[in-house]
């Protein structure tokens, strides 16, 4: 009984011949190429017509109060702690709402907040304000205004000396989002992969017996002879 079960289990297994799969892919190279080109063109069109480039602008604030002594470790630690508090304030609703009102932006707080990133580089008291927008000049204006409003808000509401603006926002006109070439390459690769996967799956689950090799591989029987089939003549 055990031997019979083993035989049944062996017949249910699908053997994968890598060489055979490679030959299948090569035999369908036209399908693979057409699928890759079509997917690449679709990705190109999507990027060109529906995805707008995104630009970035950033500004730097420096947290070091006038009363801070460079030689005082306690004062420097205080400045570092204040920097973490200022990060929250800079991106908070009061600051961004004032920026929206001052610039008459169409975005609400949630929409603008997604475009703003505030960082504190390691071991520094710098606050980096980054704004991303589809218009480079607009990103620059928003970034500058956030820096100014944040500094004024900190001085007024937190009773601290305002952070110093050491680098105003700038717009270099270079998009930070992926370009058309990237989208086209990803689409080309995706089309090639999907087509190859479909060809392999169809080949693996194809139970038709077309060649003696198919009989040996799928059924497990040896082919002893091949008889030609003659077509009947029309009378």
pLDDT for 160 equals 80
pLDDT for 21 equals 86
Would 106 be classed as within a structural domain? Answer: yes
pLDDT for 112 equals 96
Residues 61 and 134 in one domain: yes
- How far apart CA 151 and CA 136 sit, in angstroms, is 23
Would 149 be classed as within a structural domain? Answer: yes
pLDDT for 125 equals 84
Residues 183 and 146 in one domain: no
**Domain residues for 186?**
2-50+178-219
pLDDT for 8 equals 43
In Å, what is the CA distance from 79 to each residue of 21, 89, 147, 181, 215? 64, 15, 18, 45, 79
| 3-state class (DSSP) for residue 117 | strand
Residues 75 and 145 in one domain: yes
Summarize pLDDT for 95-119 with one digit per residue, the tens. 999 999 999 999 999 999 999 999 9
pLDDT for 203 equals 79
List the CATH number of the domain containing 108. 3.30.70
In Å, what is the CA distance from 134 to each residue of 56, 176, 225? 9, 10, 71
Residues 62 and 81 in one domain: yes
Enumerate residue ranges in the chain where pLDDT < 50.
Answer: 1, 4-13, 71, 73, 235
pLDDT for 229 equals 62
In Å, what is the CA distance from 213 to each residue of 205, 221, 222, 224? 16, 10, 9, 12
Would 235 be classed as within a structural domain? Answer: no
Contacts 24+ apart (CB under 8 A), 73-80: 76/125, 79/125, 80/125
Residues 143 and 102 in one domain: yes
């Amino acid at each position: 009984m055990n031997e019979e079960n083993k035989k049944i289990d062996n017949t249910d297994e699908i053997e994968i011949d890598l060489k055979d799969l490679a030959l299948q892919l090569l035999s369908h190279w036209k399908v693979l190429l057409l699928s890759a080109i079509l997917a690449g063109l679709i990705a190109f069109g999507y990027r060109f017509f529906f995805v707008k480039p995104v630009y970035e602008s950033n500004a730097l604030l420096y947290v070091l109060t006038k009363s801070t002594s460079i030689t005082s470790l306690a004062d420097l630690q205080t400045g570092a702690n204040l920097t973490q508090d200022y990060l929250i304030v800079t991106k908070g609703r009061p600051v961004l709402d004032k920026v929206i009102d001052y610039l008459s932006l169409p975005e609400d707080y949630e929409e603008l907040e997604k475009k703003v990133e505030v960082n504190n580089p390691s071991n520094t008291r710098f606050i980096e304000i980054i704004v991303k927008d589809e218009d480079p000049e607009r990103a620059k204006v928003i970034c500058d205004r956030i820096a100014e409003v944040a500094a004024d808000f900190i001085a007024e509401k937190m009773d601290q000396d305002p952070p110093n603006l050491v680098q105003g926002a700038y717009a270099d006109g270079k998009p930070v989002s992926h370009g058309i070439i990237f989208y086209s390459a990803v689409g080309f690769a995706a089309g090639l992969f999907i087509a190859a996967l479909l060809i392999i799956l169809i080949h693996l689950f194809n139970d038709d017996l077309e060649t003696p090799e198919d009989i040996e591989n799928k059924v497990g029987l040896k082919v002893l002879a091949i008889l030609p089939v003659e077509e009947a003549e029309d009378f």
